[in-house]
A and B are shown apart, each in its own frame.
Chain A
Amino acid sequence: MQDKHLNPLALLYHYSDILVAIFLASFISDPLHLNGYMIGTLFVIITVVWDILAYFCFTYSIEDKQIVIKKGVIFKKVIHVPYARIQSIEHSQFVLFRIFDIERLQISDASKSNSDDKIVLNAVKTYVGAILEEKHEKYHRQDTDINDVVDEPELEDINDKTEAKTVEEKKYAQYKVSTKDIVLYTFTSFRVFIAMFLIAHITHGAVIDVAISIYQKGANSNIFSVIIFTVLAIIIALLLSFAYTMIQFYDFTLVKDGKYLEYEKGLITRSKLRLSSDRIQSVLVEQNVMGKLLKIMTVKIIMASDEKDEESSQAVVLPILNGREYEEMMNDFFEWLPRVTTQQHNARRRSIWLFFRNISWILLIIPIAIYFIGWTNTSAVLVAIDVLIFLYILGNSYFKYRVTSIGLTGDTKDDYLILSTGYLFKQSTYYVCWHEIQSMTFHSSVFMKRNNLSYISITIRKGESHEVIGADYVDYDGGQKIYDWYRQ
């Protein structure tokens, strides 16, 4: 296919340009003493003409070995992407475009180019995606055949050791999320509070004003209306966060096909991504306090890609699993991940105090403010807030102490480091293979050494950048053992 244009529907993706044009026009027409409507119309016309020109200058060609994109109205640009370099292709389809059989393709390669050179085909027929997918797979396979001789046996090796019998069956696996799961996910994540916060934020506190006025009225008349309002507010927030989760995760399906993972999700815009398990930098299991009580967790994978966004750097692959399913699903999808822990070093008991101390300076802000400003009416409220913060920090320190640990699945270079940390009442457990750790640092200050404490941090690739994860205040000798394992 040579120099094909996108489908004209691609123009619809530029609706935001028109909004920007209108905003800009309203912004400059006033100080220049010009008719806002005229300027607005002019700007919109210019934008539309520009977008149409850009549309006609944008072509793509699917060649034997590469995809070539030509674009630019004034400055012409040609981008070549060989199929072998493509990391993954993300398909997303807006629900109305399904009728036209059109989807949006986002091709990510290993380059660290700026966002301007992102390869996005806004609207193409779905068969284009299928062709690309096929070529990508073909070249990827060739590529691995030639170069990565070591990679394959390494994975097989672990298979052989742990589940020699069931390897054949594990080539294909499927996981589907049900509405019940989504409800559970909504109720156990702290999204409700985030949703409430967002509502208050977007309406500039108007909602809170109404709440306060009702509260004042209610306090005068009866306590009943106050309770009703509170319950109503929580229900609305829950529904909104449920709707949000639903839009994101509706009919979430994860399929494992050989060494590829493919997932599909979304209600309004359906997106589909297929990725090779070679690209996985780390497997992340998340569990917050609620999840700990109900024994449910979320599994994510951390990948290296050329994009910043959450989707391509830290994808949710198993949104919600209960304890029983967990073992089964991990066996199905990540059978190469050994789950035997040969050694584990937890945070020392002393770390409760240390975690507390490290953040406790925040508590000083309010007393200092009161000292300088003097005792006013709001001071009592501030002191109450301080007490709440104190309790929160204390709880968080204890939680951190309980969940922080570092462990290994074995002693060789093919084994995994299991690093678990806590943040804001959420436990994150990372499984990272020796080969994916970019570097490891062993910290121990003079004081920490005296108390037999150490801090281990590792760097892994995530998205187009990196992430440092660390286990704080673990046993000195334990930390040293982990460090020696990495140095072998």
Chain B
Amino acid sequence: MKKLPDNVKKVWLYSAIITIIVEIIIFTAAIIGVKYLDWKYVSYILPVLGTLLVLGALFDMISIPYRYAFHQYAIYDDRVEIKKGFIFRDQATVPIARVQNVDIEQGPILRHEKLYSITIHTSADSHEIAAVTKEESENIKTQVMRLAMEARNAR
């Protein structure tokens, strides 16, 4: 089982911080806006919802090292395995023969850290590897697609 590159922790940290900032801005604006509208129940709901969301994002931030420790992937000759989650632990297996295509994506934060995220699609669902380095992403793509071709031709 391989771990993700080290600087994915930074990516998660940045994205958690951005989420918290955006949530605080939106909810402060909304709470101020609602104050002027005299909406009885909404004025309770918004602060509670806002606090919960911010706490959720904070928990995401704190749990980064644990998530990092548990997010692993492995590519074997016949299957791809992905492990995820610290509290809710998921292990998914996708046989190579079922793989339809492999997507490589890069958002702004990932680009800053020169990382790529990989999504493996079967004909029914998709599985994500949160971040890999550039050469690793190329490797995975070529390896998985080659193996998928072989597996399909062998059938």
Contact = CB atoms under 8 A, between A and B. Distances in A.
B125 A466 contact: yes
Given A459-B125, A460-B124, A444 B89 contact: yes
B94 interface: yes
A388 to B, nearest CB: 27
Nearest to B41: A372
B125 A439 contact: yes
Contacts of B91: 441-443, 483
Contacts of A445: 85, 87-89
A144 interface: no
Determine chain A's interface SS by DSSP, over half rule. strand
Interface string A444-470: 111101000000000111100111100
B48 to A, nearest CB: 13
B94 A438 contact: yes
Interface residues of A, number: 26
A150 B154 CA distance: 9
Contacts of B94: 438-439
Given A438-B98, A445-B87, A445-B88, A486 B93 contact: yes
Contacts of B87: 445-447
B125 A440 contact: no
A486 to B, nearest CB: 6
Interface string B74-103: 000001010001111111111100100000
A213 B122 CA distance: 58
A483 to B, nearest CB: 7
B123 A440 contact: no
A438 B93 contact: no
B92 A440 contact: yes
Contacts of A462: 124
Contacts of A440: 92-93
A443 B90 contact: yes
Contacts, number: 61
Nearest to B120: A439
A447 B85 CA distance: 13
B98 to A, nearest CB: 5
A466 B90 CA distance: 20
Contacts of B98: 438-439
Contacts of B85: 445
B141 interface: no
Contacts of B122: 438-439, 459
B127 interface: yes
B155 interface: yes
Contacts of B123: 304, 438, 461, 466
B81 A439 contact: no
A466 B89 contact: no
A447 to B, nearest CB: 8
A487 interface: yes
Contacts of A461: 123-124
Nearest to A468: B125
Interface string A245-287: 0000000000000000000000000000000000000000000
27 contacts: A151-B155, A304-B123, A438-B98, A439-B92, A439-B94, A439-B95, A439-B98, A439-B124, A440-B93, A441-B90, A441-B92, A442-B91, A443-B89, A443-B90, A444-B89, A445-B87, A445-B88, A446-B87, A460-B124, A461-B123, A466-B124, A466-B125, A468-B125, A483-B91, A486-B93, A487-B79, A487-B93
Interface of A: 148, 150-151, 304, 438-447, 449, 459-462, 465-468, 483, 486-487
Given A438-B98, A440-B93, A466-B125, 18 more contacts: A150-B155, A438-B122, A439-B94, A439-B98, A439-B127, A442-B91, A445-B85, A445-B87, A446-B89, A449-B89, A459-B125, A460-B124, A461-B124, A466-B124, A468-B125, A483-B93, A487-B79, A487-B81
